[in-house]
A and B are shown apart, each in its own frame.
Chain A
Amino acid sequence: MNGHSNLLNLILWMPMLGVLAILLIPKTKENWIRYTALFNTIITFALTIVLYMKFDPTVPGMQQYFNVFHPWISQFNINYSLGVDGISLPMIVLTSLLFSLCILCSWTISKSVKGYFALFLFLQSSVFGVFMSLDFFLFYVYWEVMLIPMFFLIGIWGGENREYAAVKFFLYTFFGSVLMLVGMVALYFVSADNPDIGTNTFDILAMSGGKFTDLSLRLFGMDISFSKFFFVMMFIGFAIKVPVFPFHTWLPHAHVQAPTAISVILAGVLLKMGTYGFLRIAFPIFPQASVHFADCIAWLGLINVVYGALCAMAQTDVKKLIAYSSVSHMGFVMLGLAAMTVQGMNGAVLQMFNHGTSTAMMFLLVGILYERSHHRWIVRPDGTKGFGGLYTQLPKYSIVFIIAMFASMGLPGLSGFISEALIFLGIYEKYTTITVLALFGLLIGAAYLLWMFKRMFFGEVIEECKSYTDMNAREIFYMSPLIVAVVVFGIYPTPILDVMKVSVGNLVSLLAKFN
């Protein structure tokens, strides 16, 4: 089972090594800690690039070459099993990229630096774990472990109302994941009954392929389809992470309260874990139920798109606005997933990546602004302007902001467009009405962003903005990879599409069997 390469192991544990190193550095040597963290994430990023280079895009499914497999708990047939395929690879690269940038962006953190960076790297490792696990149990462990650093990162380094946000985030996600836990254990026990599997297992790949289609379970004297019941369980678990309406209300709180880097990670990476869960677990294991519930997913996706956009429009807090825009954008991913066509699915995965970069830019930019202004009001509660004339005051910043903004609203030539177009193309035939309505979500998406931009950037410079300084070298430095990504992948998405299309195609053909 083991492949020839230990690369995944290395990537997964490299941040943990960083955690250890940071723990060993004395508290007072703050710069040492920062540089260690930075160095560590850069190495990790380099490793993921190596992974990308060595990746063979023609292989559908997991790449045997990279597989890592060690028995862990023999009694439950739980294994430490890692693998990578075309769906997880973009996510892994995105994760390592964003984390290294976020280290730079957190350079100014001054409250218990040691704890911050240690938790941050810990978070990175657990996120990698989620994207690499091939064992459901391992997946679940990482999925949950990730909450702990997140809880502290929001709760300690967050804004005024951080405690509430942290608790809410934690409880919400925990609620979803315990439902997933039930599904996971139930699957374990029915897996032995399946002749294709033959033994109790947590192996995601072994369970994939619609092997539980005919099972049913009795609840309150009713026969319910096993796969549908547990698909719903897992759906809730993943949907909370995405977040899908009506499970989205933790997100605005968490985003507003979290420090910049954490918002970036939250929106850029953690939300993707939800949709990744659909692609890796819910869809392959319960393809028939997925097809059955595709309509619901599509409608929920639509609600996400429109509802998120409408809510975003009403916000007077920039960060909250962007948080809601994430809700809206993840709705597109859900739409793409619901399409279950090649275009839609590829579009969804691409959108996961692209939203990762563009929304990260937005949050980073808001963070940069916040460092100068210490508030985020577009319009203060008393009706006065929070910002004005930033275009004049911060020219470089404004340019970057424009790029991020237009990438986020899906301007052709920037990254969001291709993925959204693919999603729409994928979903149009099956759900014409939904597509048309979702396109209006796109329209509203442009409206709230432009409106925000107009209110903050145009016009005369208001008095309090006159002291703001433009982006410094460090800030430009960490924005530039994202700018490049947004532009390059907007014009030429092939580097990402190439690695994922075969894997996605694999999944689509599986789903097509049940359609």
Chain B
Amino acid sequence: MEYTLGSILPILLGPFLAFVVNIFIVKKWTKLGVFLSCFGMFVSLFYSFRIFKDFVFGKYSTGYYVHKVFPWFDLKAAGVSNFAVDMGIYLDNMSAVMLFMVAGCAFLIHIFSTYYMAGDARYGRFFVYLSLFTTGMLGLVLSDNLLSVFIFWELMGFCSYSLIGFYYEKEGAGNASMKAFMTTRIGDVFFLVGILAIWTTVGSVRFVDIYAAIADGSFNGLYAVGLPLATFAALSVFMGTIGKSAQFPLQVWLPDAMWGPTPCSALIHAATMVAAGVYLSLRMYPLMELGGITTFIAYIGAITAFGAATIALVQTDIKAVLAYSTISQLGYMVLGIGVGAYNAAFMHLITHAVFKACLFLAAGSVIHSLHDHHTHGHVQEMPRMGGLRKKMPLTFIAMLCCTFAIAGFPLFSGFVSKDRILGDALVMATQSKAYWIPAFLGFTAALLTAFYMFRMMFLTFFGEPRDKDLYDHTHVEKLSWNRNLPLLILTVFTLGGWYSGHFFGGWVKIPGVEHKEWFATLIEKPRVENFKAYKSLPFGSVDTGADRVFEESQFNPDKYFTEKEAHHVHLVHAIGAWASIAIALAGWFIAFMMYSRGAWNPGRWVNAFSGWYRALQNKYYFDDLYVKGILQKGLLPFNNLLSRFDMGVFDRYAVDGWEAVNRFFYRIAKWVDDVIVDSVGVDGTGASVRFFNVILRTFQNGKIQFYFIIFLVVMVGYIWKLV
């Protein structure tokens, strides 16, 4: 396949042009606009798939990449500077997979939105944002450098702001959107610091250049703010991930993101936005490794995974459960990065995107059906649901599959990816004691995940309806293509076989199907030494793919290990796999006992751990800490103080003060006079004037003889001074 402008850019231009056109037309011709958005997305999906096909079915080589550059702007001045900023497109296996996933999910979410948002007053506008949002993510994936990553990254921040604040009549939406934007922006600022650090060191922010610089050792021996430069840069970039991917301690924004319409939650939580953070960390993995912060990353990931899972235990809002599960799963991905499970982390990103998109859409489907006739709003509270599987069987099936996937049941995608992460964590733990805690937290979180997901399932779909009135008003699910098709497609992709190559774990072979561990084969850590002499060509020139020879890669899971190590690793992986299965089942069992059978009363647990329960309900008080502690008690009073200082003190005394100084001298002059001659014939008009006149008399007291004295004193003074 030829990589030209025409074959890559439509991915981006599809949704982008739809966005631009829609700005102008969507209000008047809503249907056309919506169609345009979906069509743009389809174009994007089509071209993404072409690339995906070329990379995965065509070249099938780990080293294959396409890099295209075109100039953006430059500051070239003869003899002074040669500085130029180029944009570019960098395609390798990872971005090809990512592109397909993003475009696919986004397309399906677009389709679903035509169902979900149809009655909304701002139906059209929603698609405007959606298009831009997708553009941002696709652009980020296509980017060949950190700067354009940052640009699209921020663009997504803006879109998430707009989408979360979509229902702007609600005060809460305003808070949530601002919170989302500000929290991620904290990470962004660090990310920008990282970009600057890298840019000034490497002289470029292209991935290939950074890899080459790492290989060349350009970072060695350099320091910034007391840290080795690589560590500093890696930490800064990772802070970007923490913000965007809602890692501890900046996880607070993501649950609030559900203020937006549910499809947009699906987009934020699955394909875009949060995925971007992990994607960035994966791209910058060599730097993280060089900076030696992988342990730190593992801890952050594990803490997030565990902490969010615990909070999810007590949520009653269906979307909130999903939101915390997202944070938790993102924690897994970050944990994966931390323990060196590069491949698995990325796979979890993809699998999670698929099943989480599906979960959210399904949740949306549920919520959309549950219409409260009293408040005229949708119902999201699980305590009011129950027994819905009869009313909406298709949604139920979709959601069940996804729950299996996320809980890590065998055969489903979540098992494939999560198990590998946990396995690698276990391997790391056996090698270094520092990793025991992340590994332990990871396994615990897996148990919790299974538990809270099944809790959600049981509460929603099983048992008796708890709000009879609501239940009765709920329509039986009618098949509609734009509601069920996306769910169906996504459900199909929750199967693990799409990713592992073996639909039945390798035990059952389907005849006629070649079983390839394509994912594990194609995605591997960037090997920086390969980039020492890279070649990037501007658009328009002949593609370099032809003159480079890429060998078809073979699956070799042990290529990083010696034989002895490989044995050990296999053993640990096997233990990990069985443990995960056991844990998933245990989670299901507890949830079953509690919420389906009612054998164990959750209330007792609540009472027993009431302190913890409260802490969990308050999300470990992070919001309180940030909003009340830091913002309301710290920053705002400080700002007010500063502002008052600025206008009250600074301005009054330092600036208006010059007049006061004048008056001061003026008064001193008067006062001196009062010492020399006492006051006679004060012509005061009022008490105050009199008072000041008595105290502060001038030289200019009107007494001519005093003037004479001054005259002579000064003159004698001059003479005395000069002679």
Query: Which of A's residues lie within 8 Å of B, judged by CB?
Result: 60, 168, 172, 246, 249-250, 252, 307, 310-311, 313-315, 342-343, 346, 389, 391-392, 402, 406, 411-413, 417-418, 421-422, 424-425, 428-429, 432-433, 435-436, 439-440, 442-443, 446-447, 450-451, 453-454, 457-461, 492-494, 497, 501-502, 504-506, 508-509, 512
Contacts and interface: CB of A to CB of B under 8 A. Distances in A.
13 contacts: A249-B647, A249-B654, A307-B642, A342-B77, A412-B155, A428-B197, A447-B182, A454-B174, A454-B175, A454-B178, A497-B73, A504-B77, A505-B79
Interface in B169-187: 169-171, 173-175, 177-178, 181-182, 185-186
Contacts of B174: 453-454, 457-459
B639 A311 contact: yes
Contacts of A497: 73-75
Contacts of B150: 412
Q: How large is the interface on B (under 10, 10 to 19, 20 to 34, 35 or more residues)?
A: 35 or more
CB-based closest 4 A-B pairs: A505-B77, A458-B174, A505-B80, A314-B643
B655 interface: yes
B528 interface: no
Contact of B75 (A310, A460, A501): A501
A392 B171 CA distance: 12
B206 to A, nearest CB: 15
A61 to B, nearest CB: 12
Given A313-B639, A392-B169, A493 B73 contact: yes
Interface of B: 72-81, 83, 147, 150-152, 154-155, 157-158, 161-162, 165, 168-171, 173-175, 177-178, 181-182, 185-186, 189, 192-193, 196-197, 199-200, 224-225, 635-636, 638-640, 642-644, 646-647, 650-651, 654-655
Contacts of B79: 505, 509
A506 B81 CA distance: 10
A342 B642 contact: no
Contacts of A502: 77-78
A428 B196 contact: yes
Contacts of A447: 182
A425 B200 contact: yes
B650 A249 contact: yes
A457 B177 CA distance: 12
A500 B93 CA distance: 41
Q: Could you say which of A433, A440, A447, A509 has the most chain B C-beta atoms within 10 Å of its C-beta? A: A447
B650 A506 contact: no
A501 B80 CA distance: 10
Contact of A450 (B154, B181, B638, B646): B181
B151 A442 contact: no
Nearest to B157: A411
A21 to B, nearest CB: 38
Contacts of A311: 639, 642-643, 646
A389 B169 contact: yes
B75 A428 contact: no
A433 B200 CA distance: 14
A432 B170 CA distance: 42
B657 to A, nearest CB: 11
A381 to B, nearest CB: 13
Given A311-B642, A412-B150, A429-B200, A252 B170 contact: no
A252 B642 CA distance: 14
A461 B635 CA distance: 28
A391 B646 contact: no
A434 B225 CA distance: 11
DSSP majority for the A interface? helix
A60 B80 CA distance: 11
B452 to A, nearest CB: 31
Contacts of A402: 162
B75 A417 contact: no
Nearest to A459: B171
Contact of B178 (A249, A412, A451, A460): A451
A413 B151 contact: yes
A505 B171 contact: no
B80 A342 contact: yes
Given A249-B650, A457-B174, A313 B636 contact: yes
A493 to B, nearest CB: 5
Contact of A458 (B83, B171, B635, B636): B171
B635 A313 contact: yes
A321 to B, nearest CB: 10
A217 B83 CA distance: 40
B90 to A, nearest CB: 18
Contacts of B78: 60, 502, 505
A346 B75 contact: yes
Given A439-B192, A454-B175, A497-B75, A432 B224 contact: yes
A447 B171 CA distance: 17
Given A311-B639, A459-B171, A446 B182 contact: yes
A391 B647 CA distance: 32
A250 B647 CA distance: 10
Contacts of B73: 418, 492-494, 497
Nearest to A507: B80
A421 B642 contact: no
A44 to B, nearest CB: 28
A342 B75 contact: yes
B178 A505 contact: no
A368 to B, nearest CB: 19
Given A392-B168, A432-B225, A436-B225, A172 B655 contact: yes
Contacts of A439: 189, 192-193
Given A172-B655, A421-B147, A443 B638 contact: no
Given A432-B224, A450-B178, A505-B81, A442 B642 contact: no
Nearest to A494: B73
A428 B200 CA distance: 8
A60 B643 CA distance: 43
Contacts of B651: 249
A440 B236 CA distance: 13
A343 B75 contact: yes
Contacts of B647: 249, 252
A249 B655 contact: yes
A440 B188 CA distance: 10
